[in-house]
Each structure stands twice: as C-alpha cells, then as structure tokens.
Amino acid sequence: MGTLEAPPDGSLLPINDEVLNCRLVGPFSIFVQVLVGTLGFSTLIIKRQFERPRRTWLVWSFDVGKQMISGSIMHMCNLLVSTLSGGSSSSTTTGEDDQSSNPCSWYVLNLTLDCTLGVLFLAGYIRLFEYLARRFKIGGLESGNYGDPPSWRIWLKQASLFCASMLCMKLTVVMLVALLPFLLAIGDLILKPVLMTHSPHFEIIFVM
C-alpha cells in the first residue's frame, strides 16, 4: 500500500496512484451503484402514489422502463469511458502532479458535462431524430403516448429514439473532452476536496 509525502508546496499527493484512485467497478462501487439504483426506483414508485391523475401500471412501467434503460446505458458508458481514460492517463503520468489518472475524476467530469452541455445536445438530437421520423413517416413517437391500448411496439420506437439520442449525446461529450483537454481540470477541481479524505470509498459515494 502506498504512502503519502509532502512535496515542496506543502500539499499531500500520493506516491502510488492506487492510494487515492477509486475503483469504479470494484465490489464496493458495485454495492453503491445497486443501492443508488434501488433508492431511485423506490422513489419513482412513491412518486406514482401522489400522481393526479395516476398513470396505469402499464403506462408507468413503459415510462420508467425508458428512463431505466437509457439511464443504465449512460451509466455504463460513463463507467467505460472513465475506467479506460483513467487507466490510459495513469500509464503516461506519475500521479504526483496530475489527478487525471483517477477514474473518479473522469466520471465526475462526464457526469457534470452530461447534466449541463449534454442536456442541450440531447434536446438537439431528439429533435433531429423526430424530424427524420416525420420525414420518413414513422409514427408513434409522441413521448408518453403509447396508444390505446398501450402498445409495446410504440414503446420500443420511443425507447429506441431516446437511447439513440443519449448515445449520440455521450459521443459528442467524449469528443468534446478529447478536443478540449483543459476540461479535465473540472473533474479534478470538483473531486479535490474529497481527495483530502484519502478515502477511495468516500470518492465512490461522492461521485455516485
């Protein structure tokens, strides 16, 4: 296990990246992700009880299904990008003056961009795909309207459009980070106070 030493500027930095670097796919992180997912799903069930008018269970399942599938795809993309990018950075940096080898820094950066610029990109891609659908006379894409009675085929169209839009948004964000590497400082800045705890587990809880 690595140790910490004080460099000339007085700050504590890890000699070994593994001291502070989190493991996004380790046992503890998987536990946290399952817990967060369970809490999120429970919140949606509770929220339904206060709806007026209340959606039927089938329509509710269709709506929640789209959110869960697209959210899971986005989460997996962020895990993949963060793990690969962090591993790639750690092979070219020593970790003594650059925190970008920490997968948690990459994850929090991706999450921040997804929730800011990504929202704009997502809206643009949804409109683009809706335009193409109208151009090719593909119906059933009005969000939340699954027909009467609700149809799985209509739901599949809407879910496919939303997931495709999410993937395009994620690809755009990844390209943006690749073209503007100074954005990596955002992830380091957000995570910097958490690194002072010297606890990879707390990093996982914070970014999730």
Which residue has better confidence, 3 or 38?
A: 38
Domain that holds residue 162: 14-207
pLDDT digits (tens, 9 = 90+) for 154-200: 999 999 999 999 999 999 999 999 999 888 888 889 888 888 888 88
Task: Tell me whether residue 149 is in a domain.
Answer: yes
Task: Tell me whether residue 58 is in a domain.
Answer: yes
Q: Cβ distance 20 to 203 under 8 Å? A: yes
CB-based contacts of 90: which residues, under 8 Å, 6+ apart? 17, 21, 101
Residue 101 is predicted with a pLDDT of 75
Cα 202 to Cα 193: distance, rounded to the nearest angstrom: 11
Amino acid letter for position 80: L
Task: Tell me whether residue 3 is in a domain.
Answer: no
Residue 115 is predicted with a pLDDT of 94
Residue 11 is predicted with a pLDDT of 42
Average pLDDT, the chain: 85
Task: Tell me whether residue 187 is in a domain.
Answer: yes
State mean pLDDT over 93-108: 68
Cα 145 to Cα 13: distance, rounded to the nearest angstrom: 54
State how many domains the chain has. Answer: 1
Task: Tell me whether residue 1 is in a domain.
Answer: no
Residue 121 is predicted with a pLDDT of 97
CA 34 to chain centre: 14
Residue 15 is predicted with a pLDDT of 38
Task: Tell me whether residue 113 is in a domain.
Answer: yes
Residue 20 is predicted with a pLDDT of 55
Q: How many Cα neighbours within 13 Å face the side chain of 134?
A: 6
Confidence of residue 113 (pLDDT cuts 50, 70, 90): very high
Residue 88 is predicted with a pLDDT of 57
Alpha-helix runs per DSSP H in the chain: 27-49, 57-90, 103-115, 117-135, 152-179, 184-195, 200-207
pLDDT digits (tens, 9 = 90+) for 25-47: 889 999 999 999 999 999 999 99
Task: Tell me whether residue 46 is in a domain.
Answer: yes
